[in-house]
Structure 1
Amino acid sequence: NKMRDMKIIVFILISITFFISGCIGETTPPVATEFGSLKGYVYFSSLDSDEENPVEGANVSLKGTTYTVTTDVTGYFEIPKVGVGKYTLIVEKRGYETYSQDIEIKKDETLELSGENKIVLTPVRDEYLFNKGIELYNEEDYLGAVFYLSELKEDYPDSEYMDKALYYLGMSYDNIGLFNDAIYNFEDLILDYPESEYIDDAIFKLGDIYYALGNYEKSIYYYKKLVDEFSESKYVEKALYSLSMAYMQIGNTEKALESFDEFTTKFPDSEYADDATYFKGYIFYTEEKYNDAISVWETIPEEYSLGTWPDGSPILASTYFYLGEAYRAIGNIDEAKRYYEIVIKDFPEAQFSDGSLISEYAEERLKELSSQDV
């Protein structure tokens, strides 16, 4: 029995040895002794025109061998020494379909793949549509961007570019004023791609669009979502300021003040810090809390003396005018006059948002106060 078992083991080992030897022998290519060469050009055809352009950086190889080269800026490649025989030529480049072709290399001959025989790659359709859409978006051709990105969305719903396509579709629609379409694409992005790198961009844009449309409740929802869930986002600063403004628009002054306080605490050097401080004072003023308004507004000349509104008007002009109004309301006429006079002297051309001159209102107030003195 032991002898029989030993024979079986020896037989198995010999069989394995022959099997391995056979496999190695079949896969090891013979050493070439005769050679030819290969050269040619690689182009790509546009999906929406007959134009052909050279492809730089395409990888050209012969399958199963170490023959590999890369195309230059003109699309040219050359393998000067190739063993005689039949091969499968492979051409690969990101963004294009892989190209393959059976070729034969003959002794002392050059196989040239150029002219009518040149290699023409076909762009990967979804990547092409995405890149074309982004190209047009960057050129501010938003309708063109919508055309290509919409086709990508419709034809390739599982594309790796879909989250980016949805974002730029939303941005394109926003830029041409089709806000409902912009909202639709941004909300699709948030719903379907919660891990996308564009998620905070989309949330912030939704807040802005709803704010512009006067839907302050929804703008609050998205601004708050960004502030609460994406604390490291580059949009947090602007979102928190806009959240405060949205609360003010719906008359929720308590929330507005809380948000403005949070904003000026977190972002004291923000370009919006002067605006936020002004509006904090304005809320107190509208609630007839004149001393609180004065306390807030009197910090502006010291901390934000160069602050301006979005149209470039100095914040100090309206601040001084309303300081005059607040002091007049509490009966401190001398201080009221002082601030009105500052407006007239230092800011004669400053305007309110409706275009009216602030100095004219200050002059009217001075006349009223002067007539009362008489």
Structure 2
Amino acid sequence: MAKFDYNDDSVVVIVGSGAGGGTLANELCQKGVKVVVLEAGKRQSSATFINDEWKSFGQLAWTDKRTTSGNWRVAKDFPELPAWVCKTVGGTTTHWAGASLRFHDHEFKARTTYGSVDQANLLDWPITLADLEPYYARAENKMGVTRTNGIPGLPGNNNFKIMYDGATKVGYKSCNTGHMAINSRPRAGRGRCMQLGFCFQGCKSGAKWSTLYTEIPAGEATGRLELRPESHVMRIETNAAGKASSVVYMDAAGKQQRQRARVVCIAGNSIETPRLLLLSESSKHPDGLANSSGQVGRNYMRHTTGSVFGVFKEPVHFYRGTVMAGIVTDEAGFNPKR
């Protein structure tokens, strides 16, 4: 692994090692750029992941005490845990289910399609599906998404078989095990899915794509990537011109460090990124970095999930197999007549 001096201002500093930060780090390293990745969490592995929901939550989740102000809360019952944020090398790519779906064309035109939403800044995207398709294709190939690039779909587990039977009986036509960034066969040096049932707890077989064991090791192999886990970033400092010039963080020993940088990339997540930008105020940026619009920290949108459980006469063993067993897409299109 590379080792860069704290005063080396030729490095690019990336805060966060997940889907954005980990991938960016490798892409830069492959092009000859020196990179320091600061990650608040520890570095786990397929060997250290825990196949136990609650113990794994303690291993991978951000559970640090938080302070809040104002009269609005995301979650009143869990004030210190407003959302499930991962604090580990690889970020949310260690925890995600692997589902890799493309937006539909109409979803890029949310305001045009659905109309305005009261007290929300709903806008159409400035790009279209056609603009994004080449990048979707590149990502699907890199991650090994099933049902793309000739990669077969995952086998159907018991959950899927029961869902499929029910879906087809009521007339649905499009029901399968989905587009998943989980190897259905060995690929890119990683084995196939073993159907262990603990996708959310970190993939112990390494079949699910994660920057932890794909992008980050590839970047380290170039000799141009230094990963610093257990590095909790506190603020971004700027120079006389108001440009980001260094990152201040607490290292694993609790000692404050300052890493100089030519460029700083913030790739935390929808909570940690705005938090860090707002904490990085200065005389030139009194409202925080990248916040001339006053919109940093606003327009937060939840990833919501509704769950329904059924009881069957015969054993289903629903804990076996991939967490996202399958998908029905017949109603995914925009149809206001429904």
Bigger relative CO (Cα 8 Å, ≥ 6 apart): 2
Q: Could you say which TM-score interval applies, normalised by the shorter chain?
A: under 0.3
Per the normalisation by structure 1, the TM-score is 0.18
More helix by share: 1
Per the normalisation by structure 2, the TM-score is 0.19
